[in-house]
Amino acid sequence: MEQLSSTEIQSIISNFDLHGRPGRIYPTGSGLINDTYRIENLSSGYPDYLLQRINHRIFKNVQALMENIAEVTFHLRKKLKDRQVEGVENKVLTLVPSKNGLYYCKDEFGNYWRMYLFIPDTRSYDLVETEQQAFEGGRAFGSFQSMLSDLDVSRISDSIPDFHNIEKRLKDLDLALLSDPAGRKKEVEEEIRFIDLRREIMCSILELGRKGRLPLRIIHSDTKFNNVLLDKNDHVQCVIDLDTVMPGFVAYDFGDAIRTIINTAAEDEKDAAKIQLNIPLFSAYASGYFLETKDFLTAEEVHSLMKGVILMPYMQAVRFLTDYVQGDIYYKTSFTGHNLQRTRAQITLVKRLEENRADLEKIITGEALKQN
Ligand code: ADP
Ligand code: GN1
Ligand code: MG
C-alpha cells in the first residue's frame, strides 16, 4: 500500500478521540503486514498514540477483527485488575475510540485505521539477545494463553480463515504452482521437493485436533518475538499485534515463538551457515512458558509442542514460497527474491530443528516437569 503524507495522516488522526495536542508523526516497527505510526503528544501529562493502517487486503472483515481485539483486551484487562496487578493500563493494549463510536474508522480511499495508546519506555526485538528476554517472552505468551483460557472460544472469530491450516496452505501453494503467474516455478524445484517430502507428517497437529485430542483454544497466532514489548529492564510489558488472535492449538503459538527465538539469524538470512540453533534460549523460553501454563495445559498439549516447533517454520516456508510464486502479493518485500530468500532460510531452520528434535523434546519434557 502507498505511503501517506503527514497532512493525510493528520486528517485521519482528527477522527479519533485524542487528548492533548498531536505533534510529530513517524513510522515505526518492522512488521510485514500493517503500517504503524507513532504520534507524539505535545501536551505534557498526556500519552503518545500509535496509529495503524489495517491491511484490509489481508484482513477482509475489519469489523470482526476489531471486535476480537476489543473482546480480548477487555478480558485481559479485567483479569489483571482482579489480580490487582499494578500499571494495568500499560500491560494490555488500549484501543482509542473513533468519533464514529467504533474502534476504527475508514478514510476516503477505503483504508481502515485504528489507534492505541502508545506504551512508553519499551522495546521489541527482532532477534533475541539474552536468556532473560527469552524467558520473559515465554512468560508473556504463556500468560496470554492462560488468561484467555476461560474466554469462550465461540466469542472470537477467525480473522483470517484457515490461517494455520497447513493442508490449506499446501493447497494454496499447489494452486500457485499450477498457474505459475510470475513464471517462477522453475526456480523453486528444490524447495518444492523439500516441502513435498514432509506433507503428511506436518498435518499431525490438525489430525490430533480432528480426533478431539487437542482442545481448540484462543491463541495469539503471531508469536514472533517482536510482538512482545519488554520494559527497560527486559521484563515483559505487553503482548501486542492482536490481529490474528483466534481459535487454534497452543502448539502453533509455541512453535512460532520458537521459530524466531531459537534461530541465531534473521528470518530472512541469506547465509545458511549462520542459521543455527541457540538451545539455551529455547530452554529459557520453555521455562517461562510452562511457569504460566502449567495449570491448564493437558499432557497431550505438552506433547504436541515439539510438533509445533517443526511445523511453524515449515508453514512459514510454504507461505513465503507461495507468495514468491504468486509474484509477491502478500508480504512486504525489500528486493526481488526476498520471499525466496525467506523460504530458504525457513527451510534451513526446519532442517536444523529436525536434526536436533530428540534433544529439544527432552528439554520440553524436563522444563514441563520442573514446573509441576
Ligand atoms: P505489524 O502487524 O505490522 O507487525 P505491530 O502491531 O506488531 O504491527 O506493531 C509494529 C511495531 O510497533 C511493534 O513491533 C512495536 O515496536 C510497535 N508498537 C506496536 N504497538 C505499540 C504500542 N501500543 N506501544 C508502543 N509500541 C508499539
Ligand atoms: C506477518 O505482521 P507481522 O509481521 O507480525 C504474518 C505472520 C508471519 C510473519 C512472518 C497476518 O506478521 O503470520 O508469521 O509476518 N502476519 C499475517 O514474519 O500474515
Ligand atoms: Mg508485529
pLDDT tens for 222-256 read 999 999 999 999 999 999 999 999 999 999 999 99
Residue 208 CA to residue 84 CA, distance in Å, equals 38
pLDDT at 29: 82
Strand-pair category, 236-239 with 122-123: unpaired
For residue 366, the CA-to-ligand 3 centroid distance in Å is 31
Residue identifier of the C-alpha nearest atom 6 of ligand 1: 241
Between residues 8 and 224, which one has the greater pLDDT?
224
Same domain, 137 and 246: yes
Say yes or no: 270 and 167 in one domain.
Answer: yes
Closest atom, ligand 1, to C-alpha of 116: 23
DSSP 96: P
Co-location of 299 and 181 in the same domain: yes
CA nearest ligand 2 atom 18, residue: 32
Same domain, 111 and 193: no
| Within a domain: 140 | yes
**Is 181 within a domain?**
yes
Tell me the CA–centroid distance for residue 298 and ligand 1, in Å: 32
With a 6 Å cutoff on the Cβ, whether 28 touches ligand 1 is yes
Mutate to test the pocket of ligand 1, among 41, 52, 223, 229 (most ligand atoms within 8 A of CB): 229
- Domain stop point among 76, 95, 117: 117
Same domain, 191 and 81: no
CB of residue 116 inside a 6 A radius of ligand 1: yes
- Residue 124 within any structural domain of the chain: no
Query: What is the distance in A from the centroid of ligand 3 to the CA of 223?
Result: 9
Confidence grade of residue 5 (pLDDT, cut at 50, 70, 90): confident
The reply to whether 315 falls in a domain is yes
Let me know whether 111 and 147 are in one domain: no
pLDDT mean over 72-86: 95
Tell whether 152 and 231 lie within a shared domain.
yes
Q: How far apart are CA 30 and CA 268, in angstroms?
A: 13
178, 47, 60: which is closest to 110 by C-alpha?
Answer: 60
327 and 257 part of one domain:
yes
253 lies in a domain? yes
Domain that holds residue 27: 6-117
**H or E element: which one contains 228?**
strand 228-231
Do the domain assignments include residue 123?
A: no
Report the CATH number that the domain containing residue 108 is assigned in CATH.
3.30.200.20
Residue 3 has pLDDT above 90, yes or no: no
Q: What is the pLDDT of residues 265-303, one digit of tens each?
A: 999 999 999 999 999 999 999 999 999 999 999 999 999
Domain end residue (candidates: 86, 117, 148)? 117
For residues 80 and 159, membership in a common domain is answered with no
Q: Per-residue pLDDT tens for 140-158?
A: 999 999 999 999 999 999 9
- Cβ burial 67-91 (10 Å sphere, 16+ → b, else e): bbbebbbebbbebbeeeeeeebebb
- pLDDT digit string (tens) for 293-343? 999 999 999 999 999 999 999 999 999 999 999 999 999 999 999 999 999
Q: Which residues line ligand 2 (CB under 6 A)?
A: 31-33, 58, 222, 224, 227, 241, 243-244, 267, 316
The domain boundary residue, chosen from 72, 90, 117: 117
User: Has residue 1 been placed in a domain?
Assistant: no
| Shortest-distance Cα residue to atom 14 of ligand 2 | 222
Contact 32, 332 (CB under 8 A): yes
Domains identified in the chain, total number: 2
pLDDT of residue 9: 85
- The closest residue, in CA terms, to atom 15 on ligand 2 is 32
Say which CATH number the domain at 191 has. 3.90.1200.10
pLDDT attached to residue 8 = 83
SS3 content of the chain, % helix, strand, coil (to 5): 50, 15, 35
Residues 217 and 362 reside in one and the same domain: yes
Alpha carbon 155 to chain centroid distance? 20
Which ligand has the minimum distance to the alpha carbon of residue 126? 1
Mutation choice for ligand 2 from 1, 28, 30, 32, CB with most ligand atoms inside 8 A: 32
Question: What pLDDT, on a 0 to 100 scale, did the predictor assign at position 248?
Answer: 98
CA distances from 340 to 168, 260, 319 (A): 20, 18, 10
Contact (CB, 8 A) for 128 and 137 = yes
Q: What is the pLDDT of residue 66?
A: 97
- Is residue 104 scored above 80 in pLDDT? yes
| 131 within 8 A of 249, measured Cβ to Cβ | no
Instruction: List pLDDT tens digits, range 27-53.
Output: 988 778 889 999 999 999 999 999 999
Is the domain of 260 the same as that of 316?
yes
Please name the residue that has the C-alpha cell 523439500.
Answer: 194
Clarify whether residues 298 and 331 are in a common domain: yes
Asked, for residue 122, whether it belongs to a domain, the answer is no
Q: What is the pLDDT of residue 1?
A: 56
Nearest CA-CA partner of 216 in 156, 153, 302: 153
State the pairing for strand pair 35-41/217-219: unpaired
Residue 208 has pLDDT above 80, yes or no: yes
Q: Is the pLDDT of residue 2 over 80?
A: no
